[in-house]
Amino acid sequence: MRTATVVIIGGGPSGSMLAHYLCESGVDSIVIEQGAHFRDKTCAGALPIGLNDLLPEPLRKFSKTEYLSLSVNYRGISIAQQFSKSPFMYGVERKYFDEFLRSDIDVRYSEKFLGFDETKNGIITKTDKESYFSKFLVGADGVGSSVKRVANIVSKQYFIIGEETESNNPLKSDSTARIFLGFNKMGYGWAFPKGDKISVGSGAVKRSFKKGTLLKFAKTSDTKANIFPISIWQKAESITKGRVALVGEAASLVDPFTAAGIYSGIASARILSRVINKSLLNGNALLEGYNDEMEKSMYQEFEYARLLSSIFYPFLWLTKGLIVKESTLDMLIEEAETGNLSYKSVYERVTNSKHLQLRLALLFLKLIKRI
Ligand SMILES: Cc1cc2nc3c(=O)[nH]c(=O)nc-3n(C[C@H](O)[C@H](O)[C@H](O)COP(=O)(O)OP(=O)(O)OC[C@H]3O[C@@H](n4cnc5c(N)ncnc54)[C@H](O)[C@@H]3O)c2cc1C
């Protein structure tokens, strides 16, 4: 049986970066990844510049595009566009980004997690190839996490369904990230150029998702889009149990407004690495402190993001002109730069607005008890 202090299931951004953070503080880990080298993940690959603070190398080293402009379109009409002097977001191809994050860490490729047994002194993890003994086990295995299921960590799940395709981009130097509203209910579409490719996609809450929506706004004839679920954040009672903890999308740590999960996944990995360190120093076998740390650093903002999305998406037809303005985009760009979108401040601005349309939308949401 192989041993490691921490066994991590899943070599996506959350699992790989957890291994990096643990290594920086002298804690050894093994990452079990069911995919092979250069495994791909359906994703638009848009990363806020603030992620630079969490990564071992600057984003520009492996990104395909530095975005300098953000434009928003409503049912075919441009409603706002804003420019930035420096990049506020980067476009990566997940195949290469994830492979880069996995360099310099111990990854067992093409190996699948099957289950675990918790003992008094540690955890025995079983894969389809080996058994491992460790002090802690971390589920970084993304949406539909098997670790979460086996550990019986129960929480409500709320899904967005996304469809994405990458086609050839004739405008190689295009640095505008485009958002499309009004084509699907309770969701949005995007076109993010990435050098000679362009990622085009659309996502919406499960009950409103309609396959092929991207063809309504995208200049693509490619109908072979990949369809993949995204597990949006809902407050969970706990994302740990005994010696087991979840990071990233395995714990549904996905922004409820944008459905982006890479920044929050990596941020959760950093928080968990600190909690693991503390537990090891104190000889403590539990990881409960992780829930409190997440509450302080992420959950409050996510709660505001959830509230905002329940105002924004259903009432877009009524409020788009008030909410989507150059000033809003300015703020989004600025906050993407820090990686710290303050949903609380946006929410407060929206709920204090005197505009009749917004007041009506808020009243309706209060009546149906959504806010
Ligand atoms: C269409 C679409 C567009 C998106 N666009 C963006 C975007 O632009 N920006 C953004 O930030 N986020 C985006 N997301 C969300 C983002 O892709 C995820 O939130 C992110 O990948 C989560 O990272 P993770 O490391 O937690 O999980 P993942 O990246 O899903 O990694 C989990 C890993 O675990 C492995 N695994 C799973 N089960 C097992 C097992 N039993 N044994 C061993 N290994 C296992 C998988 O192979 C995988 O490599 C998008 C998602 C979709 C569907």
Structure-derived torsion over alpha carbons of residues 190, 199, 260, 34, reported in degrees to the nearest 10:
150
Q: What is the pLDDT along the chain (371 residues), one digit of tens a residue?
A: 999 999 999 999 999 999 999 999 999 999 999 999 999 999 999 998 889 999 989 988 888 899 999 899 999 888 888 888 889 899 999 999 999 999 999 999 999 999 999 998 999 999 999 999 999 999 999 999 999 999 999 998 999 999 999 888 877 788 999 999 999 889 999 999 998 889 999 999 999 999 989 888 886 666 689 999 999 999 889 999 999 999 999 999 999 999 999 999 999 999 999 999 999 999 888 898 999 999 999 999 899 889 888 888 888 877 777 666 666 666 667 666 665 567 887 777 777 777 766 677 677 666 666 65
Q: Tell me the β-bridge partners of 159.
A: 231
Using CA positions, which residue lies closest to atom 52 of ligand 1? 43
Per-residue model confidence (pLDDT) at position 371: 58
Per-residue model confidence (pLDDT) at position 245: 98
Structure tokens at 229: 């679920």
* CB burial string 36-56: b at 16+ within 10 A, e below: eeebebbbbbbbbbbbeebbe
Which residue out of 17, 30, 34, 107 has the highest number of ligand 1 atoms within 8 Å of its CB and is therefore the one to mutate? 34
Q: Which residues line ligand 1 (CB under 6 A)?
A: 9-15, 32-35, 39, 41-46, 112-113, 140-142, 146, 162, 164, 201, 203, 228, 230, 248-250, 254, 260-263, 265
77 Cβ partners below 8 Å, 6+ apart?
none
Residue whose structure tokens are 């690959």: 45
Contact 160, 42 (CB under 8 A): no
Q: What distance in angstroms lies between residue 162's CA and the mean position of ligand 1's atoms?
A: 12
Q: What distance in angstroms lies between residue 244's CA and the mean position of ligand 1's atoms?
A: 19
Per-residue model confidence (pLDDT) at position 38: 96
Q: What distance in angstroms lies between residue 77's CA and the mean position of ligand 1's atoms?
A: 32
Q: What distance in angstroms lies between residue 356's CA and the mean position of ligand 1's atoms?
A: 40
Q: Which atom of ligand 1 is nearest to the CA of 10?
A: 34
Q: What distance in angstroms lies between residue 139's CA and the mean position of ligand 1's atoms?
A: 12
What's the rounded Cα separation, in Å, for the pair 367 and 78? 33
What's this model's pTM, rounded to 2 decimal places?
A: 0.93
Per-residue model confidence (pLDDT) at position 173: 81
Structure tokens at 132: 């491992």
Contact 92, 13 (CB under 8 A): no
Contact 287, 279 (CB under 8 A): yes
- Strand 6-9, strand 29-32: pairing: parallel
